[in-house]
Structure 1
Amino acid sequence: MPTPLEELVEFLHHPQAPIRTVALENVVGLSQGPESSIFQYNNYEPIKDLKILARDKGKTIVQHSLTILANLCEDEKIRDLIVDDFEFVKYLIEKIILDLENRNSDIGCILLTNIAKNDKIIKIFEIRDLDLPNKEVFKSSNAIDCLLDIFVKGSEKSLNKLANYDYLSFFFADISRFLQGRKYFVTKQSYDDILPITKILVFTEYYESKIRREGVASTIKNSLFEIDSHLDLLDESQANILPYLLLPIASSKDAELDEDELFELPDELQLLSPDKTRDPVPEIIIVHLESLLLLCSSKETRNYLRTKSVYPLIRELHKNIDNDDLADVVERLVNMLMRDEAPEGSEDKIEEIDEKMEEPDYESDGDEEIVEVL
């Protein structure tokens, strides 16, 4: 015999729309906590119902359905049921991209982010030839290009007054766990001849949104596991990535740099405003430091960082922090920059990086938390 709550979720596929709506309103609050197990009823039948309801024309019905699905992604089985339905994933992405008046776009972005914990999300690269109504916003018909463009151009609700797309930063962090995702961010795209990673660099100092800064920082770090791309990414005429990693960890109070050290810094860091402060979130600073560690993977890139006064800047950071986890990464970075280099012609292998910074995966990339919708 089904319990009363299980009987309630059965109404999600009732033939009468008003009854489905009432049932949905009553179960949305049960999608968090121990009672969320009711959505496993009858071999996860409510998940099938919710995916159907998420396509409804009623905005509130869609909101409740997406909210429940997003919250249930802690359950790996439910997450798999969603991402395995490729047509639903494609529909979800198309609604985010094609409907710039969609008031549920941000919830859709959260759901997309949560299901990206499943490796099958990489199939997003197969979504091409979208029928785009807005050619001024989107220059490519590939889903991944459109998501990146809407993330960049739609910040501060500039495209959709009801959505800011911030949570797509976590989605990008997740897809950059995969080789295909990392290569995408560090490869010029044919439709605009731009490295996708350069489009998100500006958000390393986007203090209006911790979510956006955090996801972008992780995306950059994951992309830097593509070691062969480092010189191009550091090249000031191409990506010029270094200032975007250093600015969040720099402060105008780092006053003990001597004149030579100061003028060897990238131009963007030489004349900081008097009120310039570090990123207030130590975890984000740690991610940027780990990115710098990855850039120490070859002698050539280490020498480049030395010529740009990275060590003096890290030295000042070390003097002014009170966080053990942050201090640990700082010390590792200092050791890399201050080490004696092996003689020319010898093998250039950095064991310290190999031991502590494995390629990103679901367990190690730091972005594995499911986002819940309250």
Structure 2
Amino acid sequence: MPTELEELVGFIAHPNPQIRLLATENLVPYSIAQPAIFKAEGLRPVTHLKLLIRDDPKIAAHVITCLVNLSADLEILENLATDDKFLNTVLQYVTERVEPNANLLAMLLANLAKRDELKRVLDRRQHPPDGLGSDDLILNQLMDLFVKGADGSYNKHANYDYLAYFFADLAKHAEVRQYFVGRQKYDDVIPLTKLKVFTEHKSDVRRKGVASTIKNVAFDVPSHPLFFAEDEINIMPYILLPIVGGEQYDEDETMDMLPDLQLLPPDKQRDPDNNIVQTHVETLTLLTTTREGRDLMRGIKVYPIIRETHLRVEDEGVREACERLVQVLMRDEEEPQAGTRVITEGGEEDEQIVEV
């Protein structure tokens, strides 16, 4: 005999929408606590949930929330991430201008990107929605959603902040990194330059995801000249500003710093999230892989900034990252250059996990 909980799972496919609404709403907490109940009969409940993201928006909100939580289960995540039809539906709905569940869909995409199969979105295309101003490349549409979401100018229901985590995980793949540093034909803009302006945004999620994306793209050493060029990506001010506080520097140090860092107010605060500070410092370390990068950082006085960060941030991860960078910057160039690849808890590249 099926248990009451198993019967409840069965009701998500009921023809009566009121019953589907009640069932999906009551199943949300179980999508975290007991994901196994959704794996019965060869994941049949998950199959039903995938179909129901097209349902009434109130039902779909509970359904997508369940799927976000269930994607923490590796078996279910594989099922979701490898389903082309399901992925197409998610991408179609998340880009619709009046989609009320767009933020939840962005969370779902962020979790799906933990599977390597999601890198196939690199070449995925769909008709661009009116008002977005993008071309038919899915990644360009998602990038423009993310930008417009910052001020709510596209979809009043969504800020798309969690797409930052989606971008961060996609940037673990070498071929996707090329997208982030390649100038796009439809607007003549390098995608990474659209992200860099959010390193000091009010949203913790947006800042964290953007910082991780920049770091992961920085693993592509041949693109480092683009990172440094003022008429290309020009990333240095956007990495350094979040890790600078209101501390005062000697005049000779200040004069050589980037102009953006020379006239900061005394109440300037560094990013309050130590993990973000650590990520930015690790990105700087990656950018010292080449002699050009090391010389640039010495020339614009990155060392005093890292010195003060090490002194003022009481966090072991931040201090260790600062120490690694200082070792590179202070090394005599006649010494053999050691590798500078940064290892984090999730591997070489950063990744984020979303749960509702």
SS at structure 1 position matched to 2:199: helix
Name the counterpart of 1:219: 213
Residues 67-92 of structure 1: per-residue CA shift (max 9 Å, x gap): 10001011011111111111111111
Name the counterpart of 1:19: 19
Does 1:231 pair with 2:225?
yes
Q: Is the 8 A contact 2:168 2:209 kept in 1?
A: yes
Deviation at 1:189, TM superposition (A): 1.7
Q: 1:365 aligns with which of 334, 345, 349?
A: 349
Q: Is the 8 A contact 2:168 2:350 kept in 1?
A: no
Counterpart residue type for residue 4 of structure 2: P
Q: 1:165 aligns with which of 154, 160, 166?
A: 160
Paired with 1:39 and 1:321, the residues of 2 have a C-alpha distance of 44
Q: Is the 8 A contact 1:204 1:244 kept in 2?
A: yes
Deviation at 1:299, TM superposition (A): 1.4
Does 1:325 pair with 2:320?
no
Paired with 1:317 and 1:361, the residues of 2 have a C-alpha distance of 22
Paired with 1:297 and 1:363, the residues of 2 have a C-alpha distance of 19
SS at structure 2 position matched to 1:203: coil
Residues 84-129 of structure 1: per-residue CA shift (max 9 Å, x gap): 11111111111111x211110000000111111111001112321x
Q: Is the 8 A contact 1:177 1:361 kept in 2?
A: no
Paired with 1:361 and 1:91, the residues of 2 have a C-alpha distance of 33
Residues 121-170 of structure 1: per-residue CA shift (max 9 Å, x gap): 01112321x22242x52231111000001101221323211111000000
- More displaced, 87-96 or 187-196? 187-196
Deviation at 1:368, TM superposition (A): 4.3
Deviation at 1:361, TM superposition (A): 10
Name the counterpart of 2:45: 46
Name the counterpart of 1:55: 54
Paired with 1:25 and 1:227, the residues of 2 have a C-alpha distance of 47
Deviation at 1:251, TM superposition (A): 1.4
Name the counterpart of 1:247: 241
Paired with 1:322 and 1:20, the residues of 2 have a C-alpha distance of 50
Name the counterpart of 1:64: 62
Q: Is the 8 A contact 2:106 2:163 kept in 1?
A: yes
Deviation at 1:364, TM superposition (A): 4.3
SS at structure 2 position matched to 1:31: helix
Q: Is the 8 A contact 2:128 2:141 kept in 1?
A: no
Name the counterpart of 1:92: 90
Name the counterpart of 2:181: 186
Name the counterpart of 2:118: 121
Deviation at 1:275, TM superposition (A): 1.9
Deviation at 1:4, TM superposition (A): 2.1
Residues 162-184 of structure 1: per-residue CA shift (max 9 Å, x gap): 11100000000000011112111
**Identity percentage of aligned residues:** 40
Residues 214-243 of structure 1: per-residue CA shift (max 9 Å, x gap): 000000000000101111211112211101
Quickly say closer, same or farther: Cα 1:324–1:240, change in 2 above 3 A. same
Q: Is the 8 A contact 1:90 1:127 kept in 2?
A: no
Listed as ranges, the gaps of 5+ residues in structure 1 are none
Paired with 1:59 and 1:29, the residues of 2 have a C-alpha distance of 19
Does 1:277 pair with 2:273?
no
Deviation at 1:249, TM superposition (A): 0.7
Paired with 1:192 and 1:335, the residues of 2 have a C-alpha distance of 41
State the superposition RMSD in angstroms.
Answer: 1.7
Listed as ranges, the gaps of 5+ residues in structure 2 are none
Q: Is the 8 A contact 1:63 1:104 kept in 2?
A: yes
Name the counterpart of 2:250: 258
Provide TM-score, normalisation by structure 2.
0.95
Provide TM-score, normalisation by structure 1.
0.91
Name the counterpart of 1:141: 136
Quickly say closer, same or farther: Cα 1:298–1:169, change in 2 above 3 A. same
State the number of aligned residues.
356
Does 1:79 pair with 2:77?
yes
Name the counterpart of 1:131: 127
Q: Is the 8 A contact 1:116 1:174 kept in 2?
A: yes
Q: Is the 8 A contact 1:150 1:165 kept in 2?
A: yes
Residues 232-275 of structure 1: per-residue CA shift (max 9 Å, x gap): 2111122111011100011122x1x2222101111111110232
Counterpart residue type for residue 127 of structure 2: D
Deviation at 1:363, TM superposition (A): 4.1
Paired with 1:293 and 1:340, the residues of 2 have a C-alpha distance of 16
Residues 289-330 of structure 1: per-residue CA shift (max 9 Å, x gap): 000000110112101110011112112222222222211111
Moved over 6 A (4+): none
